[in-house]
Amino acid sequence: MIKLEQIRKVYKTRGGYHTVLDGIDLTINPGEKIGILGANGSGKSTLIRILSGAEMPTDGQVHRGMSLSWPLAFGGAFQSHLTGLDNLKFICRVYGLNYRDRREYVEDFSELGKYMREPVKSYSSGMRARLAFAISMAVEFDCFLIDEIISVGDARFHAKCENELFVKRKDRACVLVSHQAKNIREYCTRAVVLKGGKLTCFDTIDSAYAYYKEVTG
Amino acid sequence: MAIQGRVLGALLLREVITRYGRHNIGLLWLFLEPMLYTLVVTAIWYFVKLNMLNNIPIVAFAVTGFSALALWRNTSSRSMTAVIVNSSLTYHRNVQVLDLVLSRGLLELVGATVSFALLTIVACLTGVMEWPADIILLLQGWLLLGWFGMALGFIMCAMSERFEAFERIWQAVQYPIQMASGIFFMVDWLPTHAQEAVLWVPMVHGMEMIRHGYFGNAVATYESPMYLIVVNMVMTLVGLMMLEDTSRKLEP
């Protein structure tokens, strides 16, 4: 189980302090798939980064009773001048895995072919998304944090993700940020809405969406 | 601890690949770079000045001076940019700010050490330099100066994360600091009031130890290892606290 307690995050800007998250409580149980809805700049990615530990909250506690992936997002995590293979090696070393055991799976899932040996900076965003997914699946986390990148994939990629993450790894938790209603409806069991630094939880996706539409207009 | 070791190993390997690539002589540049630097400066000194300087062979004087400079300067300056360049790696929770700084500094430490060792061994075998008189003392000085470089790197890294202007200011002030660090002089050559002033500079003590170890009792030296150790400990502590603060504020 993962528990956020009274998380506050304040950024310092030129114009003074800017509170992005203002007292967030959230519990993620094993196997739960949670969607995060919110307008641009409402703090979705910040929340994901605090969950993962990439950023520290200004106040509040994060209890991590499961292993969490790094935020699978567009920026970060990969080193763009290294090849896909070198990035895989680096991440395997960081998480204490033997990369030889995982290589085949990652090459297979990402379908990068000879691009595995090209620098990540030459990848399209779809290719990056495939590599990020493949590596995070190979590391086998208990909870996957997915920040938008699912939305760049094509139908084939979606089908594969669905199979790997939502069928084969049904028991794993997942937190998904996406602007596309379709993705959250498709994959998540419940949804939360971020607005004005506060988090509102809903039991069904539909009620979350109704609220989200109402507050964003 | 096991995790940190693993992460450091991964970062070191990654640093080697990104900096030197896989082709060419790659990794060799790690110590060829400081070696070339030392050789070029030593050659200039050799041709410009007399062969002997106050009874000290100029080649050995220059090699010890510039190798030691490369040691603390390269270690600290590479550490300074460790976080700016690599902050995206902290997306992985195991990768801490301190790991980024340590891996860069350690690599530089190794490079400068191999460079100095090779230069000394080759020069001694070919008779250009004499073998060091007291290798233990020399190594102690070397290690203390390396430690100083690491600790300075902690502080510089945290400062440059905090203040954008720090890197530029450092560029400007590093030359006078290097001048005062004892590359160009032995404390003994200076007038008394200058000696007193220069002995406040921590690097001077490391430099004096290294030269004392190298030339033995043929030279008079004024090092206080205790002073350097105390300065190192204080700087390490301050540096670690500053880096802790950096990691709390980091937004990768």
Closest by alpha carbon to B250, among A12, A23, A95? A12
The dihedral of CA B4, B250, A35, A23: what is its sign? positive
Cβ–Cβ contact B13 with A under 8 A: yes
Please give, rounded to a whole number of angstroms, the shortest distance from the CA of B220 to a CA of chain A.
49
Question: Which structure tokens are listed for B31?
Answer: 């110590």
pLDDT tens, residue by residue, A124-137? 988 998 999 899 88
Query: Same structural domain for residues A131 and A195?
Result: no
Residues 6+ apart with CB under 8 A from A55: A9, A46, A49, B250, B251, B252
pLDDT tens, residue by residue, B66-112? 999 999 999 999 999 999 888 888 889 889 999 999 999 999 999 99
**A33 within 8 A of A205, measured Cβ to Cβ:** no
Query: Residue A32: its pLDDT value, please?
Result: 92
Per-residue pLDDT, averaged over A95-120, amounts to: 92
Query: Same structural domain for residues A91 and A43?
Result: no
Dist CA B45 CA B62 (whole Å) = 7
Query: Same structural domain for residues A54 and A84?
Result: no
Query: Same structural domain for residues A136 and A157?
Result: no
With a cut of 80, say whether residue A40 has pLDDT above it: yes
Domain termination residue (choose one: A120, A140, A160):
A140
Query: Residue B52: its pLDDT value, please?
Result: 59
Query: Is A54 in contact with B93 (Cβ distance < 8 A)?
Result: yes
Q: What average pLDDT values come out for chain B (252 residues) when binned by 10 residues?
A: 87 85 74 89 80 74 92 94 88 91 94 94 90 94 97 96 92 91 90 93 96 91 95 97 92 79
**Residue in A with minimal Cα distance to B4:** A94
The DSSP secondary structure of B160-204, one letter per residue, reads HHH-TTHHHHHHHHHHHHHHHTTSS--GGGS-HHHHHHHTTSHHH
Query: Same structural domain for residues A80 and A63?
Result: no
Domain termination residue (choose one: A123, A140, A157):
A140
Q: Look at chain A and report how many structural domains it folds into.
A: 2
Cβ–Cβ contact A79 with B under 8 A: yes
Parse chain B into domains and list their residue ranges: 2-249
Query: Same structural domain for residues A13 and A115?
Result: no
Per-residue pLDDT, averaged over A157-162, amounts to: 84
Query: Is A86 in contact with B17 (Cβ distance < 8 A)?
Result: yes
Please give, rounded to a whole number of angstroms, the shortest distance from the CA of A89 to a CA of chain B.
8
Tally C-beta pairs within 8 A across A and B. 62
Q: Which H or E run contains A196? A: none
3-state secondary structure of B221: coil
What is the phi/psi pair of residue A190, to 5°?
A: -150, 165
Please give, rounded to a whole number of angstroms, the shortest distance from the CA of B73 to a CA of chain A.
27
With a cut of 80, say whether residue A151 has pLDDT above it: no
Contacting A residues, span 142-201, partner chain B, CB-CB under 8 Å: none
CATH number of the domain encompassing residue A14:
3.40.50.300
Cβ–Cβ contact A76 with B under 8 A: yes
With a cut of 90, say whether residue A184 has pLDDT above it: no
With a cut of 80, say whether residue A217 has pLDDT above it: no
Query: Residue A174: its pLDDT value, please?
Result: 92
Q: What is the CB neighbour count within 10 angstroms for residue A91?
A: 24
Query: Same structural domain for residues A149 and A59?
Result: yes
Query: Residue B2: its pLDDT value, please?
Result: 81
- Classify the complex by whether its ipTM is higher than 0.95, answering yes or no: no
Cβ–Cβ contact B164 with A under 8 A: no
Query: Same structural domain for residues A162 and A136?
Result: no
Contacting B residues, span 73-112, partner chain A, CB-CB under 8 Å: 88-95
Query: Residue B53: its pLDDT value, please?
Result: 64
Per-residue pLDDT, averaged over A28-39, amounts to: 91
Query: Is B10 in contact with A93 (Cβ distance < 8 A)?
Result: yes
pLDDT tens, residue by residue, A41-69? 889 999 999 999 989 999 999 999 999 99
Closest by alpha carbon to B81, among B188, B164, B172? B164
**Residue in B with minimal Cα distance to A71:** B91
Strand B52-53 versus strand B56-57 pairing type: antiparallel
Give which of B1, B93, B164, B250 to mutate to test A binding, by max A Cβ within 10 Å.
B93
Query: Same structural domain for residues A166 and A59?
Result: yes
Dist CA A166 CA A174 (whole Å) = 9
**Residue in B with minimal Cα distance to A145:** B91
- Is the model more confident about A66 or about A148? A66
Question: Residue A83's domain spans which residues?
Answer: 76-140
